[in-house]
Structure 1
Amino acid sequence: MIVITGGAGMIGSMIAWHLNTVLNRDDLVIVDRMDHPDQWQNLVHRQYAQYLDKDELFARLHNASGVEAVIHMGAISATTERDFNKLVQSNIRYSQQLWDWCAEHGVPLLYASSAATYGGGEQGYSDAHDAVATLRPLNGYGYSKQFFDQWALRQQAQGRPCPPRWYGFKFFNVYGPNEYHKLRMASVALHTFNQFREHGTMQLFRSHLEGYEDGMQLRDFVYVKDAAAVVCHFLQQAAPSGLYNIGTGKARAFRDLATAVMHSMNREPSITYIDMPTDLHGKYQYFTEADMRKLRAAGYTQAFHSLEDGVRDYVQHYLMQPDPYC
């Protein structure tokens, strides 16, 4: 049995998709708390044994047996969350409780960290453990992920109880099916599709940083199917415990992403530029690019979708279909 927290979220439900369709596994326990009224649709195509509310999990784990792994994707993932007390409870304390249970019961733990831990990228994007202490996240969400990463590394360094294998995944800019409940926090790919379909143009942020043209802010965009495949690789294959980037290793511009979406809709692109919201000033990454050497050294050899191929699959096989859910 595999427990997936955040299993009704974008990445969690796509990990369940990979387990169902690629690995033929349906002995899954999906754990979440759905805040959006349509989020349940992320699960309608999935096969799983049980659904639990996030507050039910630890009572069920108390006498549980046969848990093969815990895949912990559940979190407050909004980079704009200002209540740090909420981030502490959801992103730190809940994760620490799962760590302790996995350590006590000898169960591997695979959890979601974030590229938001890298902040503005001044220290680069290496997932080497000796670089973690130098990072300076730009928002409370990023810091909550950084805090847990550092805490996990301390448990290991100080010889405290740890899961037999543990992996923290620093997801870069993930886009793809089943993100529809994320609203403002959804990917620019989804926003482009919706805006272009409704208004005939896509609005991108003007640049407020010298050296970057409007729309040419760069991110490492990774298709959610690739992100799920990496997580499931670590479920199957033993590798050194620790932190791993999940990106493509190739930064692309927001303008490239928006253009790819509009081309996938078989229409001529149209982009307009708007000022960045004030709540993002000083908290916005202008460049991210995952260092992928550690992941490759851990034995992951599969190719990642190019931006154009991933967007085409997303738009044509999901967003343009009557049922967009994977």
Structure 2
Amino acid sequence: MLLITGGAGFIGANFVLDWLAGCSEPVLNVDKLSYAGNLDTLRSLHNDPRHVFVHADINDRETLNRLFAQHRPRAVLHFAAETHVDRSIHRPADFVQTNVVGTFTLLEVARAYWNQLTGENKAQFRFVHISTDEVYGALAPDAPPFTENTAYAPNSPYSASKAASDHCVRAYRHTYGLPALTIHCSNNYGSYQFPEKMIPLMLTRALAGKPLPVYGDGLHIRDWLYVGDHCAALRAVLARGRPGETYNIGGCNEKTNLDVVQTLCTALNRIKPKPRGHYADQITFVADRPGHDRRYAINASKIEHELGWRPAETFETGLEKTVRWYLDHPDWVNRIISGDYRNWVEFNYTQRLASGAFFSEIATGASAKRHRASR
């Protein structure tokens, strides 16, 4: 059995669904069901005996001890985390509690469990920690992509909390011998993503005829990874990864935020045309987030050379699948975009929309030129 933390969140749930679609090995799914946890995503597994769901917080050591003793997992995949940078700016304590203290608690329980294993069970146990490329900080425009040896330089409360959790995992490997591995992934996108994140946010707002809020001049660069490719990489790491190693997982798709939104609008206009005009007409530049890193990029050559993984999707093919999934699953989306989610969007973006005119003529002009060229 695998023990998955955060398995009702975006990447964790996609991994659970992907794993059980191709494997009979059961999954113990532990999730506290915060705002981003969604059991609707796992509805197809209802009454499936291979999927055991437990509503619990990774800070609850007593419950974790009981679950390890009862289910005796052969591996842990640790997805559970607070992940939204904007939320971390407003409520950093939540990120420290989940990402740092929660990871420490899970490590302590996993170490105690692993220590009492013997023989092959102990030799084969793995603790896979899923982290982010944001721990490396920002890249200059002409700098080479992050490698596994890039120095840490986190710039947001979110990335700082993930960096701290990474260091805890490394220390438990070095000090106690726990067979742990760490994954640094780039920006994920795909089905079942909480619509607070960029691509589903823009998609749902485009369909609703609302402004598409692009931070700053829209030229911040990210590497985009389709979630199905990420799941395939994690399977490779679990099967063949070496304890103590770190693996960067990227999509080999560096895009500016403006490029992403324009490409999304073009795909949406082709699949579900707007009655009049173009979805890109809704793009609105808003005040930038504090401390917004300019560029991230991943060098994923290590995992390709050592484990034989590389992304199967281009950004365009992955985005096409993503757009069609959201269009085909309006009920899943509509059950989310209300209540706390709506309150958060209004809180985070209303003031930014009001102050969007702060940009210089040069920045606005350059972005407008890119907009026209894409159309």
Bin of the TM-score, shorter chain as denominator length: 0.7 to 0.9
- Contact 1:99 1:162 (C-alpha < 8 Å) held by counterparts: no
Shift of 1:205: 2.5
Amino acid at match of 1:114: T
Which residue of 1 is the match for residue 146 of structure 2? 126
Go from structure 1 to structure 2 and tell me whether the alpha carbon gap of 1:269 and 1:216 turns closer, same or farther (over 3 Å shift). Answer: farther
Which residue of 1 is the match for residue 178 of structure 2? 163
Which residue of 2 is the match for residue 293 of structure 1? 301
Which residue of 1 is the match for residue 72 of structure 2? 66
Which residue of 1 is the match for residue 346 of structure 2? none
Distance (whole Å) between structure 2 residues aligned to residue 37 and residue 153 of structure 1: 27
Shift of 1:70: 0.6
Which residue of 2 is the match for residue 4 of structure 1? 4
Shift of 1:125: 4.3
Which range is displaced more, 253-262 or 306-315?
Answer: 253-262
Flag structure 1 segments of 5+ consecutive residues without an equivalent.
208-214
- Contact 2:237 2:307 (C-alpha < 8 Å) held by counterparts: no
- Paired residues in the alignment total 304
Flag structure 2 segments of 5+ consecutive residues without an equivalent.
115-121, 334-375
- RMSD of Structure 2 on Structure 1 (CA): 2.5
Which residue of 1 is the match for residue 167 of structure 2? 150
Amino acid at match of 1:198: A
Shift of 1:240: 4.8
Which residue of 2 is the match for residue 190 of structure 1? 200
Go from structure 1 to structure 2 and tell me whether the alpha carbon gap of 1:114 and 1:303 turns closer, same or farther (over 3 Å shift). Answer: closer
Shift of 1:14: 0.4
Amino acid at match of 1:216: L
Which residue of 2 is the match for residue 310 of structure 1? 318
Which residue of 2 is the match for residue 256 of structure 1? 259
Distance (whole Å) between structure 2 residues aligned to residue 90 and residue 37 of structure 1: 13
- Contact 1:102 1:108 (C-alpha < 8 Å) held by counterparts: no
Distance (whole Å) between structure 1 residues aligned to residue 70 and residue 177 of structure 2: 19
Amino acid at match of 2:12: G
Greater RCO (CA < 8 Å, at least 6 residues apart): 1
Shift of 1:124: 5.7
Distance (whole Å) between structure 2 residues aligned to residue 121 and residue 243 of structure 1: 20
SS in 2 for 1:7: coil
Listed one character per residue, the Cα deviations across residues 243-271 of structure 1 (whole Å, up to 9, x for unaligned) are 22221133112233223322332234414
Residue 35 of structure 1 pairs with residue 8 of structure 2: no
SS in 1 for 2:28: strand
Give the alignment of 1:105-254 within 5 angstroms.
105=114, 106=122, 107-121=125-139, 125-129=145-149, 131-132=150-151, 135-157=152-174, 160-164=175-179, 166-180=180-194, 183-184=195-196, 186=197, 188-199=198-209, 202-207=212-217, 215-254=218-257
- Contact 1:201 1:269 (C-alpha < 8 Å) held by counterparts: no
SS in 1 for 2:85: coil
Go from structure 1 to structure 2 and tell me whether the alpha carbon gap of 1:22 and 1:62 turns closer, same or farther (over 3 Å shift). Answer: closer
Amino acid at match of 1:308: E
Q: More helix per residue: 1 or 2?
A: 2
State the identity %: 19
- Contact 2:214 2:284 (C-alpha < 8 Å) held by counterparts: yes
Go from structure 1 to structure 2 and tell me whether the alpha carbon gap of 1:90 and 1:162 turns closer, same or farther (over 3 Å shift). Answer: farther
Amino acid at match of 1:143: A
| TM-score, normalization by structure 1 | 0.83
SS in 2 for 1:288: coil
Which residue of 2 is the match for residue 44 of structure 1? 43
Which range is displaced more, 313-322 or 288-297?
Answer: 313-322
